[in-house]
Each structure stands twice: as C-alpha cells, then as structure tokens.
Amino acid sequence: MEERSATVTVAEDRPLTLVDEHAHAWSPKSARARFREGLTGPTAGIAAGHTQVNLISVPADWAYDMLLFCTLNPKPCPVLDVTEAGSWTTVLADGADLRTDLPRYRVWQDGELVDEPTDVRAHWRGDLVSFLIGCSFTFEWALAEAGVPIRHIEQGRNVPMYVTSRQCRPAGRLRGPMVVSMRPVPPEHLATALRESGLLPAVHGSPVHCGDPSGLGIEDLGRPDFGDPVDAEPDDIPVFWACGVTPQAAVMASRPPFAITHAPGQMFVTDARDEQYRVA
C-alpha cells in the first residue's frame, strides 16, 4: 500500500518543533489558532501535557461500520469522541472547528487520495460523522519524562509509520491492515517505555511488537509508508505501537465513497489533559 497517490502530491511539511522551539509550551487553543491561520507540519512535541487525536470523518451511512471497526479494533482505533452528523465541534476542545483546526487534512473519494488541504470547509458535508481517535503522540510526554529518548523529535522528523501484515478484524464494509508507528528505544529504557505507554490505553497503550520488523511484515525500516525514516542508535530496539492511521488504510482497502482524515502525523490538539486517560 502506497502513501502517495497518482492524483495528488503529498505535502512535505516539517515538524512544528522546527518552526518554533517553544511549541511544547503552546496552549492547545494557541496551537489550533496557528493551524487555522495556515501553519502546517507534524505535531509531535507541541502543547505538552495535552491529548492529541486522529480524525476520520465518514458519511452517516458508513458511520456504524466505522464505529464497529473501531470497537472491534480498539488497539489501533481507541475512540475518544464521536460527533453528530454534520457537526464540526467536539467536547474535547471548546470552540474548536474540526474543519480548520488541524495542520493538514486528507480528502478521499472511492478510496483514492484526491486533496491535502489545510482547510476542509469547501469539502465539508452535512452528513459527515467524525471520529476522534487517540494518538500515540500523547504518551510521548510520559516517555520523555521517564527518560526515554524520542528519536524523531530529537531529529526534527515525523514519526515513521508502517502498514503491517496484520489484518484488522473486518466490520461491515470496512477491512484493512493495522498500521503501526515505530520508535527506536535503547535496551535500558525498554521496560520503562512499555510500562509508561501501557498506562495510557486510550492513546494506543503498550506496543504491539518489539524487535524484528519482519514479524509485522515490514521489510525496510528506512522506507516507512507514512512519515519519515528515523536514525536509530546501534543498540536501539525498534518498538512498534498500533497507530491511528489504521482507519486511513481501511479507507484505501474498502473504498468508501468519501472520507476526510488528518494527514499522518498532523493531529488535532485537544484541551484534554494526558492524565485524564492515565489508568494509574
């Protein structure tokens, strides 16, 4: 499965930490305002302590299929909010607009990527139901505070994401492979990374795989399907977490007539605090 479509050129935005070294201190409202004004780029490392989420909006007659897909596949698709049809607001962020407040979006028709705008008001439909799905960028703050290095943030890159050979449980008309994000972790920090992420199951929780990427059907870590390759240290262990880009893989595999998603790595920053989703 290819990230790039023949019908549209995928934008090459850089992480926001390269745009503003103080991005970690932005408030969620301030971050969303910047995105609304046109700032783009992966959102890892911004608005410290606030939950980030993936977005997928589908026509109402596909909403049950998507809800069932997420319910049957909670590891890659932990739902934090679902909107009413046509609504562009969410209880996760007071006053926010889901049509404008992400850095970049993807617009899909019949499973094909047709546009990557920074504003989807022109594409919005009155029958769209939006699903806000937990994102692993949320637990990166817990990892960093526990001393685990986050290589993609250190290197100013988007997190690498890979389509795996593991198939999700099908739901109605939706099917597709699980997508994972990968972070290289030094061996001495592996137990900490597993423990800290495991305490946040609403944002993917503990990893689904550690070590040899071939166990997930990944042939080359240097060629992610989404995001950027990241340079690992010689002893680093590749650690893989279920990823909220999985619904986009389902869109490509199942070909619903229309969908809007976030661009991989360019998340919606909510007002919710990370600790709200910590189980201990």
Compute the Cα dihedral for 77, 82, 85, 87 and give only its sign. negative
121-134-249-238 Cα dihedral, nearest 10 degrees = 130
Q: What is the pLDDT of residues 194-252, one digit of tens each?
A: 999 999 999 999 999 999 999 999 999 999 999 999 999 999 999 999 999 999 999 99
Q: How far apart are CA 273 and CA 264, in angstroms?
A: 22
- Going from the N-terminus, what domains does the chain have, and what CATH number goes with each? 17-135+251-277 (3.40.1640.10), 138-242 (3.30.2040.10)
pLDDT at 89 over 90: yes
Q: How does the average pLDDT of the chain come out, rounded?
A: 92
Residue 23: per-residue pLDDT: 83
Q: Is 90 helix (H, G, I), strand (E, B) or coil?
A: strand
Q: How far apart are CA 217 and CA 214, in angstroms?
A: 5
pTM exceeds 0.75 for this model = yes
